Amino acid sequence: MKKRVVVTGMGAITPIGNSVEAFWEGVCQEKIGFDRITYFDTADYKCKLAAEVKDFNAADYMDKKAARRMEAFCQFAVAAAKEAIEDAKLDMEKEDPFRAGCAIGSGIGSLQAMEREHTRLEQKGPGKVGPLLVPLMISNMATGNVSIAFNLKGKSINVVTACATGTNSIGEAFRTIQYGDADIMVAGGTESSITPIGIAGFSALTALSASEDPTRCSIPFDKDRSGFVMGEGAAVVVLEELEHAKARGARIYAEVVGYGCSSDAFHITSPAEDGSGAAAAMTNAVKDAGAALTDITYINAHGTATHHNDLFETRAIKLAFGSHAKDIKINSTKSMVGHLLGAAGAIEFITCVKELECGFIHKTIGLMESEEELDLNYCKESYQEDITYALSNSLGFGGHNASILLKKFA
């Protein structure tokens, strides 16, 4: 018999706040995290804006020596994990460390380390490349560093499915507990790719918005949308087997009840045009939960603000839910924090937990008018409304589709 899995802790480093409380306050206040890129000179770049993390000091979360051996994506992950574990009031000295695992994914790892050491290679030769380049750069080091920091000796994995990474990481952690392989999983996503090669690469794909107006640069489902805005940060949750959580008197935020995946098997960057892949992920998640499609009244969409994604995701929702799609409220958190790539699904998962907890569905910021085929309710306004289920979608380059379903705990 599958075990029940609940959320008992949350942590976040985001462009609109460096804690879950600050992030959620920003969401409720309709705050946007977009501004001019400060990490490098964008004079020769089409893209000028990003959603950078502000006022982050790694030494506030870990000792300086440890921080020096981590790139930003790992620092963000450790910081978010620290908040999540403290929020869950987990005392690892009282837990079996081999029953506590970690699944924190990063879609890219450290472009900063690669850029820095490539410059050194070109200028000074191969003998001068830093000995820590590889362990600083590779994407599994977020999970590795968090496991080391918090003595998590159970299942330790790094999922890399591009923009679906965060959702897949939490989903695989959910499955791990469901099938009895762990009692606790620290799970989520992290990313820090606002770098010269990162921005240049996504710009060359024509995926990034070239807008210089922070209020109109990331406008999912709007007819004037022109691409996504890159964000950065990390979001981490503590998932726990229900009876284990009850036994230690843990506060339970929500229950994870369904997880569905699929592949478009279509194109390396474009979603399937008919939405069939994303539709399968959504219906798989709902079926996994034993829920009815009509039980779903809210979806946190992938909603990147690229022309293709928002159109094809709309088609997917219609394909999955049929006429009921018109009754579903759909929003995009990326309208505030941009696209956190491998961390996107994780911060949107936390958004869903907070929306269930507070009975509040945030508006899609910047959305003014959609084109004819985009005729669903994309939340031009926020709603004060109790919801039972929250479905979160993530769709990644390569055709990776992942949906995860949360339910208000009762």
Angle between helices 141-150 and 72-87 (to 10 degrees): 40
For the record, the structure tokens of 251 come out as 């506060």
Distance CA 37, CA 32 (A): 14
Helix (H, G, I), strand (E, B) or coil at 332: coil
Same domain for 206 and 300, yes or no, is no
Q: What are the catalytic residues? A: 163, 302, 339
Domain that holds residue 271: 258-407
Q: Which residue has the tokens 């949350």?
A: 10
Average pLDDT on 90-102 reads 97
In a domain? residue 234: yes
Residue 395's DSSP bridge partners are 401
Q: What global pTM score does this model have?
A: 0.98
CATH number at residue 273: 3.40.47.10
For the record, the structure tokens of 405 come out as 């379903």
Question: Domain boundary at 222, 247, 272, which?
Answer: 247
Distance CA 396, CA 304 (A): 11
For residue range 264-311, list pLDDT tens digits in order. Answer: 999 999 999 999 999 999 999 999 999 999 999 999 999 999 999 999
Same domain for 341 and 319, yes or no, is yes
| Beta strand segments in 43-197, E | 49-50, 100-105, 156-157, 184-191
The closest alpha carbon to 194, from 48, 362, 66, 319, belongs to 48
Distance CA 244, CA 77 (A): 25
For the record, the structure tokens of 241 come out as 């087997």
Residue 1 pLDDT class (50, 70, 90 cuts): confident
For residue range 337-351, list pLDDT tens digits in order. Answer: 999 999 999 999 999
In a domain? residue 168: yes
Count of domains for the chain: 2
Distance CA 368, CA 408 (A): 31
Same domain for 268 and 242, yes or no, is no
Question: What pLDDT shows up at residue 70?
Answer: 98
Same domain for 219 and 272, yes or no, is no
Judged against a pLDDT cut of 90, whether residue 250 lies above it is answered with yes
Judged against a pLDDT cut of 90, whether residue 395 lies above it is answered with yes
Residue 410 pLDDT class (50, 70, 90 cuts): confident
Same domain for 27 and 169, yes or no, is yes
Average pLDDT on 200-229 reads 98
